[in-house]
Amino acid sequence: MVGIPGPSLNAEARYLIEVLQVGGVILFRRNLESPLQVAILTRDLQELAGAATGRHLLIAIDQEGGPVQRLQPPFIQMPAAREWGRQDDPPAIERLTTQVGRELRLVGINMNMAPVLDVARGPESPLWMRSYGSVPEKVARLGLAAIRGFRAGGVIPVAKHFPGLGYTTLDSHQDTPTVRGDGTERERDLFAFRQAVAAGVPAIMSAHLLVPEWDDRPATLSKKILTEQLRGNLGFQGLIITDDLEMGGICRHWSVAEAALQALAAGADVLLICEKPEAITAAHSALAQSTGLESRLRESLERIQRLKQRLPYTPLDLAAVRAYFGAAEKKA
């Protein structure tokens, strides 16, 4: 799953889809101008992918609420998770995330990289405003409401960041944080993820996080964490998606190509590379030339195909987009 450079289907985006045949695209502010433009972009991406590969794309976005929501008005804006935590109103979260999911699906986005299930212990945590709170049971209760809402709205929710960044002080965008505390703290971090897995969450994102008691490798690159803990201990059978492999938590220590191979071997299904075309190309080349990963590739492909079959692509109705967001703009 890759980022593309701009708001329309340019030559670089065409290369990624037609030649490299990527399986997904993630959208950022650089890709977004208006609801109709987003719908036209996702339509063009899907049509190109269908012609090139016979398969549709996962098209994702980070629409968490608060400080992390790529789509601006007239799209619905959500409060920060921290504010939701203060209100502690799961039905309200479920209603709003259902509306948000319907808007995403209306413009052709079928996956939302949310909710955040990290249990932020204090304001020093980089996830403080993005976390529902410091109590695992509350994070689980509110996170599950968001998962239900996004699914009801027609998009795939992605719970993140496994196994939990809430007891760290270093931002994984910059370098690799090391989790604090002992096994009791790990259980606090895992609680919401256990509940989400039991509730059938279809996808989970890994964290670029060191858990010394489990491994000396960050979670995204660790078979002990992704396969033994997430799949074995928690029983998760859905998609494992890496956080962006170009983040400092990975790329300060490994090349994107090296990280892509190691993440796949560890158990990841979707490799997220958000920025540099040369990094995407290098990772693609490394995977194409790799040996010994065939069974892992087949396993991941089967999971991806099963998920896509449960959420089939349907052509967009641009008139419906115009009508809905025109009314939303007038109401605002």
* CA–CA dist 322, 264 (Å, integer): 41
169 close to 209: Cβ distance less than 8 angstroms: no
Angle at 96 between CA 128 and CA 83, to 5 degrees: 25
Retrieve residue 168's tokens.
């760290």
Distance of alpha carbon 288 from alpha carbon 298, whole angstroms: 13
Q: Compute the residue count for the chain.
A: 332
The span from the CA of 278 to the CA of 172, in Å, is 22
How many Å apart are CA 297 and CA 267, to the nearest integer? 10
Residue 323, SS3 per DSSP: helix
Which of the following is catalytic: 189, 243, 244, 269? Answer: 243
123: nearest Cα among 162, 169, 175? 169
Task: Based on the residue annotation, tell me whether 244 is a catalytic residue of this protein.
Answer: no
Report the distance separating Cα 263 and Cα 269, nearest Å. 8
Name the residue type at position 25: V
Tell me phi and psi for residue 9, to 5 degrees: -80, 90
**Residues 6 or more apart from 158 whose CB is under 8 A from it?**
60, 111, 112, 113, 114, 203, 204, 205, 241
Q: How many Å apart are CA 141 and CA 41, to the nearest integer?
A: 35
Alpha-carbon distances, residue 161 vs 212, 230, 293, 327 (angstroms)? 17, 12, 25, 36
Q: Is 171 a known active-site residue?
A: no
Q: Could you give the residue numbers annotated as active site?
A: 173, 243
